[in-house]
Structure 1
Amino acid sequence: MYKFLLIIVLALFSGRLAAQTNSINEERFLSIGGIEQWVTISGEDSSKPVVLFLHGGPGSTMNPYDDTMYGYWKKDFVLVNWDQRGAGRTFGRNAPEEVSEDYWIENPLTVEQMTADGIVLAEYLTKHLGKQKIILIGTSWGSILGAKMALARPDLFSAYIGHSQVVNFSEGLAHAYKAVYKMAENANDQESVGVLTQLGSPPYENAKKEGQLLRIIKKYEKANSIPAPADWWKLKSEYDNEKDAQDRYNGDDYSFIHFAGFKAMGIKSMGAGVNFRKDGLEYKIPIYFIQGEEDILTPKELAKAYYDQVKAPKKEFVLVPGAAHGHNQAIIDAQYKIAKKSLDHKNK
């Protein structure tokens, strides 16, 4: 009996030791698209399927927070977070100490360049981690990159999961303006009605105007949805410093002004040219859309209409009650469930 128990204990111990040995935790700058870009790779078992997250914003990096949101995924997946061109540590590595409007103007961001960056990263991950394909998850702005990457290089991905999927950004913003204007009127919110009236319906030629509209949209999304836990936004210790804070702040400004556009500076809007109903209706891999029911910015009506048009080997639309445009626990759990469902063990 004693010998039998000893065998069991040794087997359990060796199993835990093997898991520890196979764990992966890499953080480094990689040369992507002619610049150095910050990438982290982490998981309890490097043999597990790989998930590449594409953060929103643009500029809203996930690296400072990924353990609080996605930590429990690491037993089943290898998680990759990437500070995209113009965001977070990637921005800080490549921008001058003093960031001016001239820098904004002389260093444009484009959807095409950032899509190309993402594809180079995906190619690197498949080779570096010994995978045939990886799972791609894009949120908001990241859903633009995700859809573009999945459409351009389906050979690299086993599935694409779009959260708060952008379909036609200009149409979506106009829809959001009308929706939030009606909400403000119904709430007798004269301050917001006044701002919205002054702004007028988009599109705008000034990023500041788009920013004002987004603030009101966020106000009403917050009022009608279940929030994320407060501890999700606590910075990891290694990101809790002045340098990283400044890079996040500057990168967010730089990225947003290029996404929204600023005609007076000659900066074209990246968002204005996005219309997947025109050039993104046929996917060669399974796709899954996860949509917050209370999302105003990328409304469920447009996302579902696009989903209904899309052709794919497999597709699924998941509407999450109590969720708005951003993350909350229900969104993370829905992403996890879909990621597990999408696994094709032959493509590990």
Structure 2
Amino acid sequence: MTVAIGLALLGMATRMVWPVSTPAFRGPDGRPLPQSVATMERISVNGVPQSVTIRGRDRRNPILIWIHGGPGSSETTALRHYDSGLENHFVVVYWDQRYAGQNYDPHAAKPTALTIQQYVDDLSVVIDTVLTRFGQRKVVLVGHSWGTVPGVLYAQQHPEKVAAYVGVGQVADVPKSERRSYAWALAEARARHDKRGEAQLVALGPPPRPGQPIFTPRDLMMTYGGSFHRDMGYGDLILAGLRHSEANWRDFLAFQGSGEFSNRLTQGEFSRFVMDDRPQVFSTPIFLLSGRYDRQSEASVAHDFYEQVRAPRKAFVWFEQSAHNPPFEQPAALDAWIVRNVRPLASPAGA
């Protein structure tokens, strides 16, 4: 057993230094499917080279763009591990945002400023690039966690390019969400007789906290089940993702250090983000998907936002066995819902 574990670790360590790649779609004869697409590349996005992985069994299918959470943590490899079934129905674009995933450089200078609109503008370049490449007019946007912020703003600003917007763990009002998250975490600590957790939360006090982070400690969210309802955690996502050829040392280091690049945004503009003071009228279908137990980005706040939305079509969907992470806790159910309800709204190539 010890030898087997050692060999497995050696194999993973060796692969970590290899160049990244993504496997082709192959038919029964072992040859790549003629209409498929499977590529990893870097494109220039507003002067910053950024990594995209594009995969689809049929390049004529509608385009779906994943906008990952973070903002410092790419979810590309985890989404490939848990949600790759979507590649049978869409051309799926996994975009590593600034400083995340394959874009992480531990030696790069930290940005002096980051804004939410920069990420919206980056997303705009990615969308225009893939629309031109595949000869389509619209994309499906699926944002998760932080990714719902640039995603929903892009859907407002450029509805003519969005067939549908799907927000998973939608962020709508960070201050309100954190007030509710804190109250829930404190009640959980007391119900569980977790004296250490209770003392930590009492010492912090409820938000806002002048000069201190607004966010409820994420380790307590994990412990109390507000991030994951299932018996899993972010370590599971990292290990699952590192098994894939799309990951190497850069992703491994990014999991540990990319937050340093986005701290200015996370502790600044993002911590104050509120959708409620923005127009709530959308010209494209809006679907919000929330885990029933999501306390990290309070599902109740997302539902408050949903009630204010006016759109040609909208739905709020509960995932009953998930907290903040339905793409990883209930991937089959989430993917099936998107295929069944969103795929028919997306225009095929050339339509």
Match in the other structure for 2:208: 203
What TM-score results when the alignment is normalised by the length of structure 1?
0.83
How far residue 336 of structure 1 moved from its aligned partner, in angstroms, is: 3.6
Give 2:221's aligned amino acid. Answer: I
Q: Aligned in 2, Cα 1:45/1:135: closer, same or farther, shift over 3 Å? A: same
Alpha-carbon distance change, 129 to 109 in structure 1, aligned in 2, over 3 angstroms: same
1:213 aligns with 2:217: yes
Which residue in the other structure is 1:52 paired with? Answer: 65
Structure 1 residue 131: deviation in Å?
1.2
CA RMSD of aligned residues (A): 2.7
- Gap runs ≥5 in structure 1: 1-12, 262-268
The CA distance in 2 between the partners of 1:205 and 1:336, in whole Å, is 44
1:190-226 residue CA offsets vs partner (Å, 9 max, x unmatched): 010000011111234556x556622212221269722
Q: Bigger relative contact order, structure 1 or 2, given CA contacts below 8 A and separation 6+?
A: 2
Q: Give 1:250's aligned residue.
A: 257
Q: How does 1:222-237 map to 2 (within 5 A)?
A: 225-227=229-231, 230=236, 233-234=239-240, 235-237=242-244
Q: How big is the shift at 1:138?
A: 0.3
Whether 1:146 aligns to 2:172 is no
CA distance in structure 2 between the partners assigned to 1:260 and 1:275 by the alignment: 14
State the one-letter code of the partner of 1:45. D
Deviations 1:267-294 (A, max 9, x none): xx12133211110411110010001110
Counterpart for residue 266 of structure 2: 260
By how many angstroms is 1:85 displaced? 1.1
Q: Which residue of 1 aligns with 2:300?
A: 301
Mean Cα displacement is larger for which, 38-47 or 233-242? 233-242
Instruction: Give the 3-state SS of the residue equivalent to 1:278 in structure 2.
Output: coil
* Partner Cα separation in structure 1 for residue 322 and residue 346 of structure 2: 31
The answer on whether the counterparts of 1:239 and 1:245 sit within 8 Å (CA) in structure 2 is: no
Distance 1:274 1:52, change over 3 A: same
- Deviation sequence 1:53-103 (CA, Å, 0-9, x none): 0000112212223331112221111111111012122232xx6x2x6xxx4
Structure showing the higher helix proportion among its residues: 1
1:80 aligns to what SS in structure 2? strand
Residue equivalent to 2:338: 338
Contact 1:221-1:325 within 8 A present in 2 as well: no
Q: Is the deviation greater in 269-278 or in 335-344?
A: 335-344
Residue equivalent to 1:21: 34
Per the alignment, residue 274 of structure 1 pairs with 273
In structure 1, the residue corresponding to 2:76 is in which secondary structure? coil
Number of residues of Structure 1 aligned to a counterpart in Structure 2: 319
- How far residue 184 of structure 1 moved from its aligned partner, in angstroms, is 0.7
Using a 3 Å threshold, how does the CA distance of structure 1 residues 296 and 222 change in structure 2: closer, same or farther?
A: closer
Cα distance between partner residues in 1 of 2:185 and 2:194: 11
Corresponding position: 1:164 with 2:169: yes
Aligned: 1:311 with 2:310:
yes
Amino acid across the alignment from 1:249: Q
- Aligned residue for 1:87? 100
C-alpha separation in 1, matches of 2:49 and 2:192:
48
Aligned to 2:9: none
Q: Percent identity?
A: 23
Aligned partner of residue 28 in structure 1, secondary structure? strand
Q: Which amino acid aligns with 2:224?
A: Y
- Cα distance in 1 for partners of 2:304, 2:203 equals 31
Separation in structure 1 between the aligned mates of residue 312 and residue 238 of structure 2, nearest angstrom: 35
Alpha-carbon distance in structure 2 between the residues aligned to 1:223 and 1:143: 16
d(CA) in 2 for partners of 1:88, 1:323: 25
Q: Do structure 1's residue 286 and structure 2's residue 285 form an aligned pair?
A: yes
User: Could you tell which deviates more after superposition, 221-230 or 317-326?
Assistant: 221-230
The answer to whether structure 1 residue 111 and structure 2 residue 113 are counterparts is no
Q: Which residue of 2 aligns with 1:64?
A: 77
Please name the residue that 1:3 is paired with.
Answer: none
Structure 1 residues 281 and 124: CA distance shift in structure 2, 3 A: same
